[in-house]
Structure 1
Amino acid sequence: MSAADLAVDGVTLTAGARRLVEDVSLAARPGEVVGLVGPNGSGKSSLLRAVYRALRPEAGRVLLDGTDTRALPGRRLARTVAAVVQDQVADFDLTVREVVAMGRSPHKRLLDGDTAEDAALIGSALAAVDAGGLAGRSFDRLSGGERQRVLIARALAQQPALLVLDEPTNHLDVRHQLELLGALRRLPATVLVALHDLNLAAYYCDRLYVLRAGRIAAAGPPAEVLTPRLLAEVYGVTAEVAVHPRTRAPQVTFVPADPYPAGTGGRSAP
């Protein structure tokens, strides 16, 4: 399946009297990795839920290859979009391989068994997140980080044209964060991902959308978006932004308002 063309067009989302997202538009062209960044409560997760059709917009549309997702049959949507969400209920009394195999369900009829192609895709998905050695283990006995990697493998096995991920690096150690985001870069899919780590977002994303209080505060390539002024306005922090000497990506360093030098026991040096 080819990568999808995603367009979010003037989407507004509400929860009762509270407005979660207001008049947000964004685009992710086929094969791009597009990042959503912003402080907690800025609307990132809500916007992602609208993209994978867990929330219905009060206004605006989500378009996949020009078609409103609300017009897509559920089975076709499941074949096109895969999502990895935060705090996913995932107490499966299954082996890791069985959990990852669930990603193949949208491509099968009821009671169809795994084919050789399914087995190959499941194996590739596990390898992509360094979880091949977990295949025979019980999912409900894994650590939080291991579970996260398996759930991402399940989404990869689905072979989506659009992959939506909400803080996928949560619970992962540094090595697996880098390996996961590197794997996303190599996918033949469009990727929309919410990230807290601005340096990871700067290196792995083609473009960033910065959300603040449910609205787009800035959008563009990371080098244009991640500026000290924007970080002060959106996050309320002092930051320095330099070009990393090896990666050439923006590198953000936050400056504490009241720094404590090392070795002072948590007190400012005299």
Structure 2
Amino acid sequence: MNKTYKKYVNQVLRRIPCKPRVKKRIRYDLYCMLEEKSSELHEMDPYQLLGEPEDVADEFMDNMDDVYHSRYAYVSENTFLGMPLIQVKSGMNRGGEYKSERKLFGIPLVHINRNPFGVAKGIIAIGPVAIGIISLGLCSVGVLSLGVLCLGLLISLGAIGLSCGISFGGIAIAGLFACGGVAIGGYMAFGGCAIAGEIAIGGYARGRVAIGDTIHAHIGLYQTKGTGEYVIPLIDDIEAMKYYIFNKVPDMHPIVKGMIKHAIRLIADGAIILQ
């Protein structure tokens, strides 16, 4: 038996939940198809002969008993481009995998994969490994990414979050704004340990402008220790502290200025404990 064929067939069968006797028949049919195609095309690569295992599995599923595919538990009356907005199939459980029939640019609108180490790819992707515009998983990659280890183009939220834009997490790293236990932001960071290119607020804060218990900054306010050119201790006079920062950085963006005002007020009121 061709080992390459065997490996390929096993990959297809893993994606088809059915009884052992049915799998046995499918296995036999797959081998026959591979042998016939190989004789016709003089090609030994199963991927060239039949295509991707996932696509082959989908084709088999589409032609199996109606229990698996053709009955819908719910079909919405609202339509988009002539198709129901929502379709929920009854009896469909591809080993813990769901892939919507509706696609956008050839990508499933929704792909949910609950198989261990399964990969979900869709506009909305949910699975152990999720790749999509909106992704949710142990390891997720997307424009909006949520999970344990997240890589988000705009926003990431997870235990470890990395983003070009905004990141929230135990460890948060972002090109613009980061918030977390350890926060590293290209522009602004807020957290227990905050490091930023411009503005940092946290227990330990390092940036051009920093506010925290211990700081290293060009301009800043500290509670216990501070190093830098224009750093002073935190005082009770909120307005004086705001004036000190904004006078040194007059061109600060209004939104950032508002965030700093709010942070100073919370620190003064004791709502944020820096130590």
**Shorter-chain TM band:** under 0.3
**When the two structures are superposed, what TM-score results if normalisation uses the length of structure 1?**
0.26
Q: Which has the higher contact order (CA 8 A, sep 6+)?
A: 1
Normalising to structure 2: TM-score of the pair?
A: 0.25
Q: Which has the larger radius of gyration?
A: 2
* Structure with more strand by fraction: 2
